[in-house]
Amino acid sequence: MGKGLDINVLRTFQAVARLGRFNAAADYVHRSPSAVTTQIQKLEEQVGQQLFARSNQAVALTPAGRHLLGEATRFLIAHDKLLATLSPRQLTGKVRLGVPDGYAATLMSECLPVFVASNPKMELEAVACSSAQLLDLFARQQLDLAVAVSSEQIQQGDWLRSTEPRWAAAKGFIRDDSRPLPLALQLKGCPYREAALQALKAKGIAYRILLESANWHAVLACVKSGLAVGIVEALEADDALVFLQDQDLPALPPHGIYLLTDTAHPVAVHLHALLKAAIQKEAD
């Protein structure tokens, strides 16, 4: 492959992959569109493979491009972390973080207060919503970091750990096969919601959505009240819930938790390490 890969070219490649357009990537990396096009062409020549499928509307990653994106993202994060350790300084500026609603309470009470207290000149903005919304916000440069849950691999994201979504209900709940299964779910965009509904449809099980809410705690309260069945991660089990493993409900596919980070943002790179450690610690 010849000489080593250029850091700046990798950042340009990552920007094109994230934004899906050469013009938008050019604005992001402060280069002309022609310069960005030249960089990508030279990168493709260097690796010997086409990285993007181009059209008039946008560009999409090829299989080779998806592979390079994952490796390049991990490399850039490691590179920037090393630079930060060699020239430590107090973090300043603003960092925008997005997390799924179900993870917000834990991160807000444990990990993030320590980060903010350690960096008094830094300004944190956080938003909690569905994983689909978070991925969209990150792609549109409205977030510097995003934690997202997905049943499919997110090439640009750093895989943190796997999750095991399961059917859960209040103790004593008995499924009535003669009536549609009552469900309490988060709004569209929640990957567990989509997985649950697809699984029920595939097995021909009738259902009705008794409650849908953007607020995970409202959904959980409905499930614990005995009104409906919900989807809970295996790690979230408590004395008020039981997993419905013996009521002929379809198994749900495993998912992964990913952390997407703008590697050009020094504060985001620093926060990346703290979030990764905090989320992986939950599985221990």
pLDDT reading at 2 higher than 60? no
Candidate from 22-31, 36-45, 198-207, 213-222 with smallest mean pLDDT: 22-31
| Domains of the chain (ranges, CATH numbers) | 7-84 (1.10.10.10), 91-162+256-281 (3.40.190.10), 165-252 (3.40.190.10)
Measured distance CA(168)–CA(266) in Å, rounded:
41
Closest CA to 143 of 71, 70, 94, 77: 94
Percent of the chain with pLDDT over 90: 38
**Three-state secondary-structure class, residue 54:** strand
Residue showing tokens 């198994």: 251
pLDDT at 84: 64
Q: What is the mean pLDDT of the chain?
A: 87
The confidence band for 190, taking pLDDT boundaries of 50, 70 and 90, is: very high
Pull the structure tokens for residue 249: 């409900």
pLDDT reading at 1 higher than 60? no
Show the DSSP H helices in 20-100 as ranges.
Answer: 22-29, 33-47, 63-86
pLDDT reading at 169 higher than 70? yes
pLDDT at 58: 78
pLDDT digits (tens, 9 = 90+) for 66-76: 888 888 888 88
pTM: 0.74
